[in-house]
Structure 1
C-alpha cells in the first residue's frame, strides 16, 4: 500500500507482476503448446483438440461463423480483430475457404469450400454464456469467473449456471444444464459420481429460501412442502430459474444399458437421485466410472457424446501435452525457434551451467529484494532497480577477484 493525499492506494509490487506473468505464460504454453504455430492444421483433418480463433475482421457477426487454427492466426490474420476461443474438439481449420470470400490461406491453399463436420456457436462471434455477452464485458461490473462446459464447449458465468459453483473447480469438469437435458441419462450418473449439488430452493409464492446441500435434505424439504417441482423456483447467486420436471425424460429409455453388468442400469435401479436442474460438476476421473457396455456405447454415440469415454479428450490432457512439448523444446529441441536457447546450446557444458546458475540466482535475489518493498508497502522506483543491478555487478566482481573456478 502507498499513501497519496491522505488516502491509501493499492499498489502491485514487481514480484506480483513477475509471478502473475510467469503463471500466465505457463497457462498460455499449456494451451498453445499442443498446437503447431508454424503449419496450418487443415491437412490433419478434424483435429481431436486444438487452440482456435475466430476473425471478426474477416467473418464478422451477421455472416457465417468460421474458425482458424493457431498458425493461421499468426500468418494469415496478423493485425486482425481476433476472438480467442481457447480450445475446441474435432475441428478443421476454415481459413481461406468460402466463408472468407476472396481471401486465401497463405499456409495451405487447396482447401474444401466448407468443413461440414465443424460445429459452431455464438462463441465464434465473441459471445458467451446464456446471457449472450462478450468477454471481457465492459458493461458487466460483477466480477465473475467463466467456466467451460465440456459438451457444448460454451463458456458460462458462474452466476448463470443455475447452481452453486464448488471450490477447486479447476480440478473438475462441468456440463451445463442444457447439455444435461439433451443427454438425460447423465442425470443418473450425476446422482452417484458428480459433485453433490448445493442450491437454494424457494417456492414461487415467496416462502423462505432453504439451502439444499444433499439429496436427503432435499427429500425432507419436499416431504414437508409437497409442491410440484414445476411450481418451484431455484434461487442462485441472485438469479432465478423455474425448475423443470426431468424425471420422465431421464428415465425415458428404459432399455438403454439393459445388458448384464451395466453400470448405468445398476445406478438407475439403486433409486438414488438428485436435483434435476442446474449445471453439474464432476469429480476427478469421473469418466472412468462411465459404463462402456455395448448398449451404453450406442447410447453415447446417438447422443453425440462418445468423446466422454476418451480420457484423453479432456482439456487437462491437452494442456499436459502442451507442457510436455514445451519442456521437450526447452531441453534442446527448439534451437531453431529460440535464439536464446540456440546461443546457450553453442556454449560448452561449463559455460551453460554457469549461466543457468547465475540466472536462477539473480531471479531468486530479485524476488527477495522486491518482496521487501511489498512487505513494507513501498513503491519500487527506477533508482531501486538500478541499485539492485549495481549490487549484482559488485558481487560478480568480488567473486571474480576471489578466483572462483569450475572443473571441466
Structure 2
C-alpha cells in the first residue's frame, strides 16, 4: 500500500477542520433556536398567556407548554399554536394519558382552558389544516381569539395554489370563488358572490384573534415571493381583529372603516380598502347587478362626507397626496389625556363600512368579512374613553394593555461548546467519581495516541474503518476483562 501524497493528506486535514467547524455551527444554531431551559412545566404558574403546542400523537386534543413540548413530547408530532391567553398546561393533568416528566404529580383537569378549532388542527374561517410544506400564504393571528387566518380569506390577495402542486381544474374553479379572489368587473363579482358567501358562512361564528407585533412576524412579509403584493401589507398595520370578534366588540365596530381600523370591502371593480379616505367606494353585494355610474360614485362620496367623517378626503393633486403609513403621520392628539366623559370621539362610520358590518351580521360575506386592521403603533392609547366606549374596552383588556407572554427561563448552558458543557457537568459530579472518570479518560487518550502514532509517522490518512476498528478492539478487550 502506497502512502498518500501531501495533497491527499492536506485534503483529509481540511475535511476534518470543516467537520469541526460544522459541529460548532450546529451548536450555535441550536443555542439560537432553543435558548431556553426546558426543565420546568408551566402548570404551577396557573392560567397565563404562553406559547402553546398541540401534540398530534396523543389522542387528546389538549395543549402543552413549551417545556413539556421538548421534555415530554419531543418524539411526538406537534403543531405550534403560538401564544394563547389564560391557558394552563394540560401535560401533567388527568386529561392527558401521556405522563409528564417535569411535573410528576397528576393534577386535575384544567376547567378554565378554552379549546377552539386550533386544537383540532384547523385554522381560519375556511377551517383548513396547516402544512408548512405546501402552504404559500402567510397567516395572521387575531388579537382577540388568537386564531390564525389566511390573507386570501381576509380578501387581501387571491388564494394561491399549494406550493409544489398544480390543482386540478375543479379546484382552480373553486379557488376562483373564494372570498380572496380578485374581482375585476361588476359582472364577475355578481356571479361569484354566492359562492364566496357559501365558502365563508361557517366562519361567521368562528372565534378570531388579533396579531400583536411582539407575538409573531408571520405576516404578509412571510408570504411566498412569487405572490402579488397584498392589498394591505404588514407595514400598513400593527395588529388584526377578525370579523367575528369585531361583531362582538362594540368599540371596534365604532372604529371600523376609519384610518385607525382599516377594513376591506368589495367595490365595483374588486376588493378595496375602507379607511375613511375612500369616499368614492360603492360596496357591491349580492343582487347588485345594476350598473355603477359616475353619478352613483359621486353620490357615495358625498354620503361619506356628510355622514360625519372626521377629516375630508385628501386632494389628489396635492404634492404629497400619497398616504403615508398612519403611524408615521403627525400625532395630533397623542399627548392628550384619555377622555372619560363627554361626547364620543370615535370616528363616524361611513356607509361602505356600515354595509359590510350589516352584511356580516346577517351571515352574508359577499361584500367583505368585517375584519379590521389596526394601523396605529400606539393604538391602545388612542381609543375614545367615553361612557359608551370605555365599558367595551374594559371587557377586552387586550385592547387597553399589552399582555405579557410567559416563556421558559433562559438556559445558562446555551451557546457553550461541547467541551465547556463537559467540564461544567464534570464539576457537578462527586469528587471521587470525577477522579475515577478522569483516570479512565486519560487511559483512553493514551491508548488512542499510541494507536494513531504509526499513522502520523508513515503519513497515512486515518480512515473511518480505522476508527471503527479501534473502538471494536476496546469493546472486545473490555469483554475479555470482565470474564
What's the TM-score, normalizing by structure 2? 0.46
More helix by percentage: 1
Q: Structure 1: which 5+ runs fail to align?
A: 1-17, 203-208, 234-256, 347-408
Task: Report the CA distance between 1:212 and its aligned residue.
Answer: 3.7
Give the match for residue 183 of structure 1. Answer: 249
- Number of equivalent positions: 264
Contact 1:200–1:210 under 8 Å retained in 2: yes
Give the match for residue 55 of structure 1. Answer: 55
1:267 aligns with 2:346: yes
Give the match for residue 113 of structure 1. Answer: 108
SS in 1 for 2:95: helix
**Whole-angstrom distance in 2 between the partners of 1:260 and 1:342:** 65
SS in 2 for 1:100: coil
Task: Report the CA distance between 1:95 and its aligned residue.
Answer: 0.4
Contact 1:72–1:105 under 8 Å retained in 2: yes
Give the match for residue 286 of structure 1. Answer: 379
Question: Residues 273 and 341 of structure 1: is their aligned pair in 2 closer, same or farther, counting only changes over 3 Å?
Answer: farther
1:84 aligns with 2:85: no
4+ residue runs over 6 A deviation: 25-28
Give the match for residue 398 of structure 2. Answer: 307
Give the match for residue 117 of structure 2. Answer: 122
Give the match for residue 360 of structure 1. Answer: none
Give the counterpart of 1:69 among 53, 65, 68: 65
SS in 1 for 2:417: helix
**Whole-angstrom distance in 2 between the partners of 1:114 and 1:123:** 19
Task: Report the CA distance between 1:220 and its aligned residue.
Answer: 3.9
1:339 aligns with 2:411: no
Task: Report the CA distance between 1:111 and its aligned residue.
Answer: 4.9
Contact 1:258–1:295 under 8 Å retained in 2: no
1:144 aligns with 2:144: no
Task: Report the CA distance between 1:322 and its aligned residue.
Answer: 7.1
Question: Residues 216 and 77 of structure 1: is their aligned pair in 2 closer, same or farther, counting only changes over 3 Å?
Answer: closer
Alignment of 1:2-21 (within 5 A): none
Question: Residues 180 and 116 of structure 1: is their aligned pair in 2 closer, same or farther, counting only changes over 3 Å?
Answer: same
Give the match for residue 43 of structure 1. Answer: 44
Contact 2:57–2:77 under 8 Å retained in 1: yes
What's the TM-score, normalizing by structure 1? 0.53
Task: Report the CA distance between 1:75 and its aligned residue.
Answer: 1.4
Task: Report the CA distance between 1:296 and its aligned residue.
Answer: 4.1
Question: Residues 118 and 280 of structure 1: is their aligned pair in 2 closer, same or farther, counting only changes over 3 Å?
Answer: same
Note the alpha carbon deviations across 1:239-262, whole angstroms, 9 max, x for none: xxxxxxxxxxxxxxxxxx996146
RMSD: 4.2
Contact 1:36–1:70 under 8 Å retained in 2: no
More strand by percentage: 1
**Whole-angstrom distance in 2 between the partners of 1:27 and 1:199:** 45
Name the stretch that deviates more: 213-222 or 184-193.
Answer: 213-222
**Whole-angstrom distance in 1 between the partners of 2:31 and 2:248:** 32
Task: Report the CA distance between 1:341 and its aligned residue.
Answer: 9.5
Question: Residues 68 and 258 of structure 1: is their aligned pair in 2 closer, same or farther, counting only changes over 3 Å?
Answer: same
Question: Residues 27 and 339 of structure 1: is their aligned pair in 2 closer, same or farther, counting only changes over 3 Å?
Answer: closer
**Whole-angstrom distance in 2 between the partners of 1:71 and 1:111:** 17
Q: Structure 2: which 5+ runs fail to align?
A: 1-21, 158-229, 290-337, 358-367, 424-483
Contact 2:145–2:245 under 8 Å retained in 1: yes
